[in-house]
Structure 1
Amino acid sequence: MFRRRLKKKEVQEFPNTIEGFGYIVKENGEIRSKENDESYNFDYIPKDRPYNELRYKAFIDLVGDLVEEKLQAEPLGFKKTIVPTNADPSSDEPYSYIFMTPNALTTTDRLLLLIPGNNTRIGQWTRRAMCDDNLINGSMIQVATLAKERGYETIILNPNGIYWYDGKAREMPPLTHMNFVMLPENEGPEVHCSYVFDKFISKVKAENIVAMTLGWGGFCLTQLLNEHFDFFKNKVKAVAMADSTHSSDLIEGDDKRIWIRSHVLNWAASNNTRGEPLKDTRLGCDSLSSGDELAEFTVTHCIEDMVRFIDTKMGDYVPEEVDDEIIREEDLQAEEEELNERVHVIDIH
């Protein structure tokens, strides 16, 4: 009787630099092939999805490292803050971190909160936007830069970095084994956001707070609204959402629903003209088209509109108003001309 010899699983090794994969990061933030100037090619080996997924993960990890480096470097200067707050990074106990600008907790003026969607590393909007479009606006680097120019301090939450294995907090559980633990006191995106609120956001001195969210981040924010409405009512001036997954049915009370109606605006993936109002009553706030049916590009394509909405709510931007008197005068003139024409026709007959 012959025993079948099991083949030892081959461990895949990939380059440890973006350049090693054959790509460069241009000055404008585009990640392009050195060979043909094209964006990242997922199908490196046709019809071998498992290999291509491993290769992409290794590549996107390097992109994530670069994003974190740029956020922490000048002029943005974000600092890591460990969560849970009692964790010791020098030990083997699980820990993760959020990013804050140096004066985020002490400024009495302006503060921006950034909450991403699912399956992304801290400081990122979507992986696809970073690879296909641009590293700067596909991550939170662009909006953090715009915030700094407008005098904001910023806190970046990390609701996905809650799976601890191989000595590191990661944004998704492992694909090949189940040997992981959840980050203590941060066992889910909503729990993480609640923890960060209790430990940090609730203690800020800023009187003018705004937020930007993507996907599930919008749901997390509405849960905070339910739990801490007085804080939102007194301090939060505007929330710009992208493809939010929250529901007005889960908002507790008419007072909170009224607040959302007047303080929140959502941009949603749609191939309608960008900025065109969308009929969607589920969210309890107005929703506008992103101009692109792919949700991965909602933030990157609408970032200027989202920032302008916040600027407007903060009084930094005044939309052009049409003079009603001029319109009325033009209407009256048109009516008068139409009436004269009718009189002229009658006279002729």
Structure 2
Amino acid sequence: MYGNCFLLLRYSVMVLNPNDNFIDVKTEPESFSLSEQENSSYPLQPPLVIPKGGSSSPEEHTTYIWDNFISKSAVKNVAFIVHGYGGLVFINLLMQRTAEVMSKVCGVALIDSTHHTMHQTQGNPQVCTWIWKHCQEWVSNSKPLDRPLGYLVKMDCPTVSTGTEKYCLAPSFALQSIFKYLKNTLKTDTKQYFTRSQSATQSKRMMKKN
């Protein structure tokens, strides 16, 4: 469902799978080559489970995908939708690749995120300011959808209600609101980009005339 909605808005979609961190050799023998078996420091004894290369943890998986796919793409505006622990993982990525993420990501929708800004960023003012400007969190709450909840939760970014107290239903309840938010962040970012481009073009024309 998420993918279809994104496609209707002409977005390209990449779905990360940060929770798939291990290979079960018994059920996925084709995923574990002989060379890996010879070089593995993990003895192949029951239960025959080894960490996946580049994906042994949610944090490593996300950084690997960023380094090998997202950062190398020609896309200039990237948006993230993260749920639960995914929020902590995104802030970890932000701290690991600060300059790249801040220049390429236009908006982040957090849903019941378990991140801790002050702890993860060590109070870095530049990063904290970026989070406030480019992130918004939806929290499971019975108040109507998009009702501000700043006085109830951490104040590291604007926070609103999902319209339900059920954690598992929060993403679907907030989905349309999230799309609207990300669309607005893209518009703002694009508008700023074109304004800068027009200013640069006008400056060049004035220099030529002189």
TM-score range, shorter chain: 0.7 to 0.9
Give yes or no for the alignment of 1:188 onto 2:48: no
Q: Does the 8 Å CA contact 1:247/1:283 hold for their aligned counterparts?
A: no
Aligned to 2:78, the other structure's residue is in SS state strand
- 162, 165, 169: which one pairs with 2:21? 162
* Structure 2: gaps (5+ residues): 32-45, 189-210
Spell out the pairing of 1:15-30 with structure 2 (5 A cutoff): none
> Counterpart of 2:133?
262
Amino acid at match of 1:167: T
Q: Does the 8 Å CA contact 1:280/1:287 hold for their aligned counterparts?
A: no
Alignment partners' CA distance in 1, 2:171 and 2:155: 18
- 160, 164, 168: which one pairs with 1:296? 168
Aligned to 2:108, the other structure's residue is in SS state strand
Alignment partners' CA distance in 1, 2:11 and 2:82: 16
Alignment partners' CA distance in 2, 1:300 and 1:283: 24
Spell out the pairing of 1:14-53 with structure 2 (5 A cutoff): none
- Deviation of residue 281 (structure 1)? 5.0
> Counterpart of 2:121?
251
> Counterpart of 1:240?
109
**Distance 1:280-1:246 versus aligned 2 partners, 3 A rule:** farther
- Deviation of residue 272 (structure 1)? 2.0
- 139, 156, 159: which one pairs with 1:287? 159
Q: Which is greater in Rg? A: 1
Give yes or no for the alignment of 1:202 onto 2:71: yes
Q: TM-score normalised to the size of structure 2? A: 0.74
Q: Does the 8 Å CA contact 2:141/2:162 hold for their aligned counterparts?
A: yes
**Distance 1:218-1:283 versus aligned 2 partners, 3 A rule:** farther
- Tell me how large the CA RMSD over aligned residues is: 1.8
Amino acid at match of 1:263: H
Amino acid at match of 1:262: K
Runs of 4 or more above 6 Å deviation: none
CA deviation vs aligned residue, 1:146-170 (integer Å, no higher than 9, x gap): 211222111111111112113338x
CA deviation vs aligned residue, 1:119-147 (integer Å, no higher than 9, x gap): xxxxxxxxxxxxxxxxxxxxxxx221121
Number of matched pairs: 168
Alignment partners' CA distance in 2, 1:191 and 1:266: 23
Q: Does the 8 Å CA contact 1:147/1:154 hold for their aligned counterparts?
A: yes
> Counterpart of 2:200?
none
Answer 1 or 2: which has greater strand percent. Answer: 1
Alignment partners' CA distance in 2, 1:265 and 1:206: 22
Alignment partners' CA distance in 1, 2:48 and 2:165: 37
> Counterpart of 1:213?
82
Amino acid at match of 2:127: K
CA deviation vs aligned residue, 1:298-321 (integer Å, no higher than 9, x gap): 0011100000001111128xxxxx
Q: Does the 8 Å CA contact 1:211/1:238 hold for their aligned counterparts?
A: yes
Spell out the pairing of 1:263-342 with structure 2 (5 A cutoff): 263-278=134-149, 279-282=151-154, 284-315=156-187
Q: Does the 8 Å CA contact 2:21/2:57 hold for their aligned counterparts?
A: yes
Q: Does the 8 Å CA contact 2:91/2:117 hold for their aligned counterparts?
A: no
- Deviation of residue 178 (structure 1)? 4.0
Alignment partners' CA distance in 2, 1:276 and 1:226: 30
* Structure 1: gaps (5+ residues): 1-141, 170-176, 317-349
CA deviation vs aligned residue, 1:317-341 (integer Å, no higher than 9, x gap): xxxxxxxxxxxxxxxxxxxxxxxxx
Aligned to 1:148, the other structure's residue is in SS state helix
- Deviation of residue 292 (structure 1)? 1.0
CA deviation vs aligned residue, 1:83-136 (integer Å, no higher than 9, x gap): xxxxxxxxxxxxxxxxxxxxxxxxxxxxxxxxxxxxxxxxxxxxxxxxxxxxxx
Alignment partners' CA distance in 1, 2:27 and 2:9: 38
Q: Does the 8 Å CA contact 2:112/2:167 hold for their aligned counterparts?
A: yes
- Deviation of residue 280 (structure 1)? 4.6
